[in-house]
Structure 1
Amino acid sequence: MQIFETEQGRQIAYHHTPGTGPTVVFCSGLKSDMEGTKAVHLEAWAKARGQAFLRFDYSGHGVSSGRFQDGAIGDWHEDTFAVIDQLIDGPIVVVGSSMGGWQALLLARARPERLAGMVTIAAAPDFTEDGYWASFTDDQKALLESQGFVAMPSDYDEDYIISKRLIEEGRDRLVLRAPLDLPFPVRFLQGTDDSAVSTETAIKLLDHASGDDMRLTLVKGADHRFSTPECLRLIETSVADVLNGGQ
């Protein structure tokens, strides 16, 4: 593990495996980290084929600096930018899981010239607005205003502390309200039994984005973790497809 400091003064932990390019970059989900099953599995797969690979922790996640409840989509967007700009030369293939899928889409919007391809796993674009805010009751919205946060139960971890800043700052990072061009091979992966991100969200993203080589694969019965042996093999196949130029 190595650590570098961003321009904002955040300490970001990462693992970088040298190899041939493009570099595969794994962007984890909300409150997930670079030690997750998919990130570690994909790293081993990349090593076996001599492919450059990088996984990292956003600020407030894993062993990077900061507290989760103080962060927002834009902070983690800055962290992702810093990883790409400071640690990697040349093109990348970004693999984004859940919130990492939103980060991948933000990266594509801001650095399209760096991307050779994209794979998302249960991508969750705009979830702060379309998921959290849209589902909040009037009481929760009032609580968010009065105390600055709402505690949300999670099926996968301890309660999420959803801050007012996370909601409000997320509105500056929405990707489904404006044109979203993905001019490179893209593979969206989605489980039909995902309780955190719906199949409808995956279809909405596919319909909204533009690009000549985009595919959505639905896996019947797969949940949000998307980490069964079959799902992991599908991730491998999708990344390899994109690395080979798609189509």
Structure 2
Amino acid sequence: MPGLISTYGPGDRVMLPRGVYRPQGDTLLLREALERERVGNGTTVLDVGTGSGFLALAAARRGAWVTAVDRTRRSVLATRLNAALAGLRVEAVRGDLLAPAVGRRFDLILSNPPYVPAPDAGPPPRGPARAWDAGHDGRLIIDRLCDGAAGLLRPGGALLLVHSALCGVPATLERLERAGLPAEVTDRRTVPFGPVLASRRRWLLDRGLIAPGADTEELVIIRAERVG
């Protein structure tokens, strides 16, 4: 699988075959949140929508037993390759969101899901946009994560989720609360529009998702914990 090698810091090197989501500001923000969690030998971690495996590898370096899930074959292969190159144990499996992990329990679930509001109501059937487009409100995947995560967490286990404020932070907090996962925003970071949002500025403005002249979005980390 030929591809670029990107370096993000000491030990943070990943192979990025064509079509695999490149770790960006949202990924790095989620890694910062991961670094604050109690992750060590024997911690069980589920990385949902793993892409290149960047976050899965970060958890595995701390001794966690990591399962990484992605719906694209290319991402699963990239994660396996990057784990092998790093000498780390990561179980990378292909499947739809949480489905491959049903029946198991984890101490920590990580996810950087598709969350970009898109003109198309449904998910892209193919192509790189599958890594970011998530319906008109950006919540096609987020809502499913909120509804299903509690069933995969051990008591005291946590979900760390990153998404744009354009998707509606209160909606995520409320949905997690209804699912039995009290949640809070732990991190906020404002970043410039990337190429995708910049190309949709008029559409976002027409839908009332951004203000005139806006050229930045706020990324948030939401942490939810199963208390019982």
> What is the TM-score normalised by the length of structure 1?
0.35
Q: Which has the higher helix share?
A: 1
Q: Which has the higher strand share?
A: 2
